[in-house]
Amino acid sequence: MLSFGPYETLSRIAAGGMGEVFVAKRTGAGAFEKKVALKVLLPHLAHDREFVERFFDEARLVARMNHPNIVQIFDVGETDGRPWLAMALVEAVSLSKLEHELGKRRERLPLPLARLIATGLLEGLAYAHALRGPKGEPLGVVHRDITPSNLLVSTDGAVLLTDFGIAKASINLHRTQPGRLRGKMSYLAPETFTGEVVDQRSDLFSAGVTLYELVTGVSPFLKGTDTDTMEAVRRAQPPKVQSLRGDVTPGLAAALHRALSRSASDRFANARELREALCDGPVATAPELGEYLKVRCGSGLGAFAESSSGPGTSSLPAGHTPAAVTQPNRVPRGPVVAIGVLALLGAAGAAWWLAPVKEPAFVSPAPPPAPVAAVLEPEALPVPDEVPLTPPLVAPPSAPVRARPRKPVQPPSVDPLRVGYLTADAAPWAEVFLDGKALDRTPLSRFPVPSGRHTLVFKSADGRTVERPVRIEEGEVEVVRVQFP
């Protein structure tokens, strides 16, 4: 169990490029207890000015937000040089996880549910885009990372936008260097690659890609290589929605294609215009979405019940959502759980070596219930099946054992910087396994992996697999792509 300020960690949910996320609790007088999602900057980034600035930029920005479709931040601090954020903890999974489950079942999300999810995403985005500073000045917020992994769906039917870790805003201390790409390539707007101004209409393009994929089950621009993906985005000529799904209404199809216009001036002027165009038919209610989620992703939600029991509970089967829960002498590897937090930890960090705590209209008449907890769908790191707390001590059979004082044996220290990065893609999409442990679905970008030799397995939606050996060099990026026939 680790402590950060007044919070004690109960279980580690996930880790990514900037930090790791824990279920944590704060206690107080009168048997007060509050559970939160605690995001902590990774140890080897705590002295990197860029990452510290980005971490606190997100904290300052999200702290200004109060909206039922955006995760909420409660507290911020620093312990032993590591910045942390306390956010609401919500029973939810990422939209990426829901899409994955539908893909395995060969199902399409009913259109009323899709419209409700679109409503939540675009209402949250409209609020963020309109955010103003203390003097009423526009902050010019651009999320820049709208993807299925950064949209959460709760068991109450709430839809929550997360991860403002690379958002652009006038109050940010960190400034992205010109020409430096941020975000997942297949969701970026064409102007990102051409050096044009990236503004709120760029977020609408990314939202259009996310909703196109949700409705059709097909990524409109993802190709076998980054170069081909970039070229497809720049052309912005996705397949016709109705050619991929016959029951899509004309208004919904037209709205999606307009959102994916190559020129920003041809898109909708703002998020609410896009929302109104998409809602050309029945919109589900929040309870309907919550019940649908429980049926499709029920196994990924058990981690919340487990974490509420505190340390010592077991983790769920592998997959991409449940969180790993700490046990005294064993650290189970759980899938990624939706658990609330901001900056999708991006993609890095070897923190699992460092500690025993270890780690996925519906325009309703009334807005969905505000989340009681924030959620995050970070890209989880592989965790060893067994992490001994002390080396084994075995005395020779005939040797007498003397009782004498001795210092407690500490776990061997591991250099947290011995990590490289994996970028992996597949066409069509696939689940990625590293040395037999599930990572995430493609595409993966700069995913942190311990340096050394590993085996990657790509598993397509129809069960086919492709195996690739890979060698990860410390600090380097290894790129692996596969094409399924």
Active site residues: 145
Q: Which residue type, as a one-letter code, is found at position 85?
A: L
CB 349 within 8 A of CB 19: yes
Q: Which of 42, 71, 281 is nearest to 162 (CA)?
A: 71
Three state DSSP letters for the chain: CCEECCEEEEEEEEECCCEEEEEEEEEEHHHEEEEEEEEEECHHHCCCHHHHHHHHHHHHHHHCCCCCCECCEEEEEEECCEEEEEECCCCEEEHHHHHHHHHHHCCCCCHHHHHHHHHHHHHHHHHHHCCECCCCCECCCECCCCCHHHEEEECCCCEEECCCCCCECCCCCCCCCCCCCCCCHHHCCCHHHHCCCCCHHHHHHHHHHHHHHHHHCCCCCCCCCHHHHHHHHHHCCCCCHHHHCCCCCHHHHHHHHHHCCCCHHHCCCCHHHHHHHHCCCCCCCHHHHHHHHHHHHHHHCHHHHHHCCCCCCCCCCCCCCCCCCCCCCCCCCCCCCECECCCCCCCCCCHHHCCCCCCCCCCCCCCCCCCCCCECCCCCCCCCCCCCCCCCCCCCCCCCCCCCCCCCCCCCCCCCCCEEEEEEEEECCEEEEECCEEEEECCEEEEEEECEEEEEEEEECCCCEEEEEEEECCCCEEEEEEECC
CB 439 within 8 A of CB 382: yes
Lookup: tokens for 124: 């949250």
Q: Which of 338, 343, 365 is nearest to 154 (CA)?
A: 338
Q: Within 13 A of 98's CA, how many CA atoms are on the CB side?
A: 34
CB 160 within 8 A of CB 368: no
CB 5 within 8 A of CB 75: yes
**Is the bond preceding residue 328 a cis peptide, omega within 30 degrees?**
no
